[in-house]
Amino acid sequence: MHVIPYRSFHVSALTIQNSQQYMSDFIKPEYCKALEQAGPAYTVMDDGEVIACAGLAEQWPTRATAWTLISDKITGLKFARLHKMVLRFLDMQDYLRIEMTVDHEFEQGHRWAKLLGFQWEGLMRKYNPNGCDCDLYSRVK
């Protein structure tokens, strides 16, 4: 696995995991380009295949929102390596506050948020484009 700078066209080469499939209708080229311009972002490649895209969308100089699109091919040791990469990336940031949202029913996402050092802040009702609830997490320096 290796990391390269994120480019908007990488998302079209990514087979998104089942838990994020509902987002497929909302991930348009304009959205992917906006992510590219929103802040630091990277693509994780494995044997020439895009297996994850992740980054931060800066809200203002001290606050950013984390985003991640992950392939269903990341399991076991690959996920452990991805976790270390993301944790290192987050630790290097100067933002005082980084937020992330997790689908309310997605237990693995809640577990990962906590392992990355995020703390639960609350439930956001009807937050996602499909009308589902999400939970807000933050990582504060």
Q: In what order do the strands lie in the sheet with 41-46?
A: 2-5, 41-46, 49-60, 63-70, 97-103, 134-140, 119-124
Place of tokens 């992510």: 35
pLDDT tens digits, the chain, 141 residues: what are they?
Answer: 899 999 999 988 888 877 776 777 778 889 889 999 999 999 999 989 999 999 999 999 999 999 999 998 887 888 899 999 999 999 999 999 999 999 999 999 999 999 999 999 999 999 988 888 999 999 999
128: tokens are 């996602």
Domain ranges of the chain: 2-140
Distance CA 68, CA 32 (A): 12
pLDDT on residue 76: 82
pTM across the whole model:
0.89
pLDDT on residue 88: 94
What's the CA angle centered on 41, arms 136 and 128, to 5 degrees? 30
Find the Cα–Cα–Cα–Cα dihedral 19, 28, 33, 41, rounded to 10°.
Answer: 0
> Mapping DSSP to helix (H, G, I), strand (E, B) and coil, where does residue 28 land?
coil
pLDDT on residue 140: 97
- Amino acid letter for position 51: I
37 backbone dihedrals φ, ψ, rounded to 5°: -95, -10
- Does the domain at 2-140 match CATH 3.40.630.30? Answer given as yes
